Structure 1
């Protein structure tokens, strides 16, 4: 059974205007793009409720996942969150100003820095992440457990092939 949605309409218009092109990839890519946009909009509500941008949430989450003293080097954080070191510096400036992280010289490396999650930062990310997971669970309720499992497997396969891992 084919679903009729905005992407289906766009594909039909392109098929009418450019019958020489195969527009079938839009069925997957267009829908993923729209779903991604919806997900981002919904998930950012949680971040904003905790006074964070999406990028700041990602930094705090990466620090929290580090375990132990919850610290990482700025370059490592940039790789985890896929931003430039310049963008990371701006995020860290805002988080440090808010008292959520501290920066210090790395032990044994006078040029290196270490970013550490403060107690306030840990409390905030734990609260925000709990709410974030509740929101993700609500979003997945649109699918059956079996559908979500199949989708996860397909997306994992596709992503690993695209990223070459």
Structure 2
């Protein structure tokens, strides 16, 4: 570790060196960013999923419950709306909703505004579970971000914001 808190050479440096040796005709410098980001994302996902599991949830389950909860009262959305907000196919969403319904965390019911439509709503138990899971999730995220320090976290957030804007469509508002 250097004086400024930057670790020395890592596995990615070794990987790049090997490629530079084997393919000197290619500029493999992007691997320093992309491969590290990919590895960090995998580690973060593992640590996030640990929290969800403690609450009996998978990553997709957490996503559905969190989407319902952050929408506010009456904590319900159509299945299509949930699929759109969680970037899952409607078929995949149906499986998630079925699983959450069997667990007593959501229920399907008629839409109060459109008697022909159906909505997925949090149950009281579902709200308890997502509130507890989300509280632990945020504490976990604080621990993970603290690993790089507040200043670096702010810099990284801005860099990622720019990168995501270049890769994604602007978001629909929740």
1:116 and 1:164 map into 2 onto residues whose CA distance is 28
Q: Look up the match of 2:120.
A: 115
User: Is 1:84 equivalent to 2:89 in the alignment?
Assistant: yes
- Residue pairs, 1:4-153, within 5 angstroms: 4-106=9-111, 107-108=113-114, 110=116, 112-153=117-158
- Offset from partner CA, 1:12-44 (integer Å, 9 cap, x none): 111111111111111111001000000011110
CA RMSD between the two structures? 1.3
- Offset from partner CA, 1:22-67 (integer Å, 9 cap, x none): 1111111100100000001111000111000000000000000000
1:60 and 1:67 map into 2 onto residues whose CA distance is 12
Q: TM-score, normalised by structure 2?
A: 0.90
Pairwise CA distance, 1:113:
1.9
2:8 and 2:115 map into 1 onto residues whose CA distance is 58
5+ residue gaps in structure 1? none
5+ residue gaps in structure 2? 1-5
1:157 and 1:61 map into 2 onto residues whose CA distance is 25
Query: Number of residue pairs matched?
Result: 164
Change (3 A) 1:120 1:2: closer
Q: TM-score, normalised by structure 1?
A: 0.95
2:93 and 2:7 map into 1 onto residues whose CA distance is 44
2:53 and 2:147 map into 1 onto residues whose CA distance is 24
Any idea what SS the aligned residue of 1:51 has?
coil
Runs of 4+ residues deviating >3 angstroms:
none
